[in-house]
Amino acid sequence: MRIGILTGGGDCPGLNAVIRAVVRCGIGSGDEVVGFRDGWRGLLDDDAVPLDLAAVRGLLPRGGTVLGTSRTNPYAIDGGPARVMATLERHGIEALVPVGGEDTLGVAAKLTGEGVRVVGVPKTIDNDLDGTDYTFGFDTAVGVAMEAIDRLHTTGDSHHRTLVVEVMGRHAGWIALHAGMAGGATVVLVPERPFDVEAVVAHCLHRFESGYSPIVVVSEGARPADGDLVTATGERDAFGHVRLGGIGAALAALLEERTGREARAVVLGHIQRGGTPSAFDRVLATRFGLAAVGALHEGRSGVMVALRGTDVVPVPIAEATARLKLVPLERYAEAEVFFG
């Protein structure tokens, strides 16, 4: 079988581990594997690279993706799907393993409708894809955020300051929830639960009273219940390009005013997306790659691999990407036990 593989969307630790697993497993089973560069763009532009064993040596611990990535969507481009089909035909690709999030897998689902055999691998650092317990990259991002929080604790306490840590999560607060629980945050704010500024202030003051300094972990997509703090404060940057600061900076400014104690924001940004994957993510990404090839060998299509408990199983792409996986109330309630 000739298998094509591509990686789309934002960077995520574990992408290279998936590529390596698909190649090692495919070649071990007598398949050939072709990589397409920069997500769907590689299929539009016929930018391909043959992947043999030598090409994937040493990839396991490396962050990023040797195939590059993009947010190109062939269905948003005139004649895009036809160009993709032509490329597939030109390379004799019999099956495709797209690795990506909602957008990448959405394209994959549509291609299935056109007769392409597809087994997707889910990827979202935010862990907000329904249908799988976890996606790779998430554990690494949480670990990076937790280590930052660990470091900030002592500095906050020494300086008697509030420290606000802004982590990734536009729509779902999983990184904030896990990093906040793991780091011992005073408050965790997530997009799913518009927050009450008064309550946040009260938790911070309570923390100061007990002789320690508050650490507030906030998802980039979290917002106050009454109005948008970021819009309200006119937050924007010099050129309108770089979105630094956001809710983290606005919240730090607000908490400084309201608590009467200095506050500082730390925005982790891309550090959460890069670098060597954690052991959990390397194992998960590797198993996803193996399972994708296995599913192709079993003649599956239109599915993506998913973690359910300790098993990796195929699930329909459409079903899995139908809605975002949000932080449920009861999980947030667990974090609330430690507020203040």
Q: Contacts with its own copies in 144-203 (CB under 8 A)? A: 144-148, 150-160, 163, 178-179, 181-184
151 marked as binding residue: no
Please tell me the distance from the alpha carbon of residue 29 to that of residue 241, in angstroms, as a whole number. 47
Q: Pairing relation of β-strands 32-36 and 48-50?
A: antiparallel
- Distance, CA of 15 to CA of 8 (rounded, Å): 10
Residue 272, marked binder: yes
The answer on whether 100 is annotated among ligand-binding residues is no
User: Which one among 6, 34, 252, 303 touches its own copies, defined by CB under 8 A?
Assistant: 252
Which of 239, 260, 299, 329 contacts its own copies by CB under 8 A?
A: 239
Instruction: Confirm or deny that 297 is annotated as ligand binding.
Output: no
Which stretch, 43-51, 102-110, 192-200, 249-257, contacts its own copies (CB under 8 A)?
Answer: 249-257
Window 282-311: residues binding its own copies (CB under 8 A): 282-283, 286-287, 290, 308-310
Rounded CA gap, 65 and 37, in Å?
10
> Would you tell me how many other CB atoms lie within 10 Å of the CB of residue 9?
21
Question: Which of residues 88, 201, 265, 303 is near its own copies by CB under 8 A?
Answer: 265
**Closest to 143 (Cα-Cα) out of 19, 273, 266, 284:** 273
From 11, 126, 128, 281, the catalytic residue? 126
Cα–Cα nearest to 178, from 233, 238, 133, 123: 133
Please say whether the dihedral angle defined by the alpha carbons of residues 277, 55, 48 and 96, taken in this order, is positive or negative: negative
| The Cα angle at residue 246 between residues 129 and 106, in degrees rounded to 5 | 25
Taking the least distance from each CB to its own copies, the nearer of 109 and 254 is 254
- Catalytic residue list contains 126: yes
Asked if 308 and 133 count as a contact pair (C-beta separation under 8 A), the reply is yes
Which of 81, 137, 143, 173 is in the footprint of its own copies by CB under 8 A? 143
The residue type of 287 is: R
Residues numbered 71 to 130 that lie near its own copies (CB under 8 A) are none
**Nearest distance in Å: CB 13, its own copies:** 8
What's the closest the beta carbon of residue 17 comes to its own copies, in angstroms? 9
Q: Round to whole Å and give the CA distance between 318 and 233.
A: 39
Give the nearest distance from C-beta 210 to its own copies in angstroms.
8
Residue 85 Cβ vs its own copies, minimum distance, rounded to whole Å = 26
Q: How far is the first Cα of the chain from the last one, in angstroms, to the nearest whole number? A: 57
Interface with its own copies in residues 9-28 (CB under 8 A):
10-11, 15, 21, 24-25, 28
Does position 278 bind its own copies by CB under 8 A?
yes
Verify binding: residue 237, its own copies, rule CB under 8 A: yes
Annotated catalytic residues are: 126
